[in-house]
Amino acid sequence: MKLKSGHPVLTPDAIKNVRTWKFADHAPITFAVTYFYDHVDNFKRDKTTKCSAKMDLPTKVTVITGHAFPSL
């Protein structure tokens, strides 16, 4: 895994999260994952998972938080 860019406050947990992913057996491939961080006022919880993250795997994850973000 190689980090291309990201805020130092946000990247450690994104890296930890990706390392937990499990996929069905398949030929090795390479893909980019982009994490989007959004304030809770701008996003509704997923009705199915009731989760504060929306995962459009394997390339996009939107993380929801009630905290203000550092200047990116």
Are 9 and 36 in contact by the 8 Å Cβ rule? The answer is no
Phi, psi of 62 (to 5 degrees): -110, 120
Joined tokens for residue 20: 């937990």
Helix (H, G, I), strand (E, B) or coil at 66: coil
Residues of the chain with pLDDT under 70: 40-51, 65-72
Helix (H, G, I), strand (E, B) or coil at 37: strand
pLDDT of residue 42: 55
pLDDT of residue 46: 63
pTM: 0.62
Beta-strand pair 60-65/34-39: parallel
pLDDT of residue 66: 61
The full length of the chain comes to 72
